[in-house]
Amino acid sequence: MIEPGLWVILLPAALLALGTGWLIGRRSSTAQTQELLLAQERYQALQERFDELQDERQQGQQKLDQQQTLLIKLTARLKDAEATLRSERLAAAEKLQLQQEAELRLSQQFENLANRIFEQNSGNFRELNQNSLDLLLTPLKEQLEGFRRQVGETHAQETAQRHSLKFELERLAELNARMTEEAAALTRALKGDSKQQGNWGEVVLARILSECGLREGHEYHTQVNIEVEKGKRYQPDVIVHLPQEKDIIIDAKVSLTAYERWYNADDELEKAVALKEHVASVRNHIRELGRKDYQQLPGVRTLDYVLMFVAVEPAFLTAMEADPSLVRYGLDNNILLVSPTNLMVALRTIENLWRYERQNQNARQIAERAGRLYEKLRLFVEEMQQMGGSLHKAQESYDKAMGRLVNGRGNLIAQVERFRELGVEVTKSLPEPLVERALERDKERE
């Protein structure tokens, strides 16, 4: 039976053949003959195409048969794999159950062993840990106590100094008033004697330095001999030291002769002349002190100016009011004019700088001690960690040794117990719980 697909090809061919015969029968001319030949060529081409399609159909059928065979094989392999997977899952579940049961037994055994070990050795461990901690913590405690005490003392000292600042300022005011009165009283005794005036100015300067809390030989030095050239020496009245290796030179100058005449004069002309002489005396002191060039002295780390101390406050104020240009003249000569009042403020500031410097030194010492304390704490922690590691290793060694004694078939305790069963005499038996467990483990392995 011809397949339906072939009818599509054979039917046109048959119709073409019938048409060709009919044309031959009806026509015999040359044109008809050519048409017949053309139809035959078309038939021949269709026949060749039919053969090609027939070959392709056979090849497709072969491939289909091969695919069906492969599908059958793969289906069989899939069934085998599913069966293998089911059996492996069942075996894995059984193994997991056995493992869980074994872990549970091991956990119970380890817990019992740990409890017994802890009961036997907890006393020794506590005593060992306590002794070790005492040895390590006692120095640490002492360091902490010293650190706390030093911080408390520093805080208390700073608080007391702050509270006393008000009283110190009041004392400075009283000192200034008293010095003013003393200066007025001494004016009459010192007028006309420049040497006595200079000595008295140095005494006033030393008293102010002492009242401001500075210590001679520490924060300042007096009458220091400094050789500039061979045979040429300078001797500043006072060299005040500042933190960070700086110095200030103070030189006392007293101008009382002209000032005393101005103060006691009743005639305005006489007062004007005396005041002019007083200003000229102060200016002359500035010029002479500037020529000494103290700020360039070798070995003295001074600032760029020198303090010229006028010991009598009223004389200082009178000269400044009469000729304010004295301040500029002094600065041009690297001289800064100071009276008892503003010198006290400057020296008190310097004393505070030294006090803060000492506090900073204390803070640095505290920081250094804190660093050493931290280092000791770090070493303590490392030693504790090492101790913990040693205890852990000792525990592992103990567990391993106990395992050899009581675990497994033919363990040591089980073997020596069999010697005792065979009649070996012993003076004292092993602990009964340990023997029972060893025998039980020995039987489990049989």
DSSP 235-278: --SEEEEETTTEEEEEEEE---HHHHHHHH--SHHHHHHHHHHH
Residue (of 297, 285, 295, 176) closest to 233 by Cα position: 297
CA atoms of 342 and 350, how far apart (whole Å): 12
pLDDT digits (tens, 9 = 90+) for 127-176: 555 665 565 556 656 665 766 676 667 667 666 666 666 676 677 677 66
Residue 330 has pLDDT above 80, yes or no: yes
Report the pLDDT value the prediction gives residue 328, as an integer from 0 to 100. 92
Tell me what percent of the residues of the chain surpass a pLDDT of 70. 69
Report the pLDDT value the prediction gives residue 35, as an integer from 0 to 100. 76
- Whether the CB-CB separation of 332 and 285 falls below 8 Å is answered with no
pLDDT digits (tens, 9 = 90+) for 384-428: 788 888 888 888 777 777 777 777 677 777 777 777 777 767 677
CA atoms of 104 and 99, how far apart (whole Å): 9
Tell me what percent of the residues of the chain surpass a pLDDT of 90. 2
CA atoms of 18 and 301, how far apart (whole Å): 139
- Whether the CB-CB separation of 132 and 391 falls below 8 Å is answered with no
Residue 231: pLDDT band with limits 50, 70, 90: low
CA atoms of 112 and 107, how far apart (whole Å): 9
CA atoms of 16 and 13, how far apart (whole Å): 5
Report the pLDDT value the prediction gives residue 395, as an integer from 0 to 100. 81
CA atoms of 304 and 301, how far apart (whole Å): 10
Residue 168 burial (CB < 10 Å; 0-12/13-18/19+)? Answer: middle
Residue 263: pLDDT band with limits 50, 70, 90: confident
- Whether the CB-CB separation of 315 and 255 falls below 8 Å is answered with yes
Report the pLDDT value the prediction gives residue 365, as an integer from 0 to 100. 77
Residue 122 has pLDDT above 60, yes or no: no
The CB-side HSE value for 314 (13 A sphere, CA atoms) comes to: 17
Architecture of domain 191-363 in this structure:
3-Layer(aba) Sandwich (3.40)
Q: Which long-range contacts (CB under 8 A, 24 or more apart) does 215-219 make?
A: 219/350, 219/351, 219/354
Residue 116: pLDDT band with limits 50, 70, 90: low
Residue 198: pLDDT band with limits 50, 70, 90: low
Residue 374 has pLDDT above 70, yes or no: yes
Q: Where are the domains of the chain?
A: 4-101, 191-363
Question: In the beta sheet, which residues pair with residue 407?
Answer: none
pLDDT digits (tens, 9 = 90+) for 8-24: 555 656 666 666 565 55
Q: What is the mean predicted confidence (pLDDT) over 353-362?
A: 82
Residue 65: pLDDT band with limits 50, 70, 90: confident
Residue 199 has pLDDT above 80, yes or no: no
**pTM for the model:** 0.45
Mean model confidence pLDDT for the chain: 75
Residue 433: pLDDT band with limits 50, 70, 90: confident
Residue 108: pLDDT band with limits 50, 70, 90: low
Report the pLDDT value the prediction gives residue 251, as an integer from 0 to 100. 86
Least confident residue range of 99-108, 197-206, 263-272, 320-329: 99-108
Residue 186: pLDDT band with limits 50, 70, 90: low
Q: What is the mean predicted confidence (pLDDT) over 318-344?
A: 89
- Who wins on pLDDT, 320 or 114? 320
Residue 247 has pLDDT above 70, yes or no: yes
Two tokens at 165?
A: 């600042």
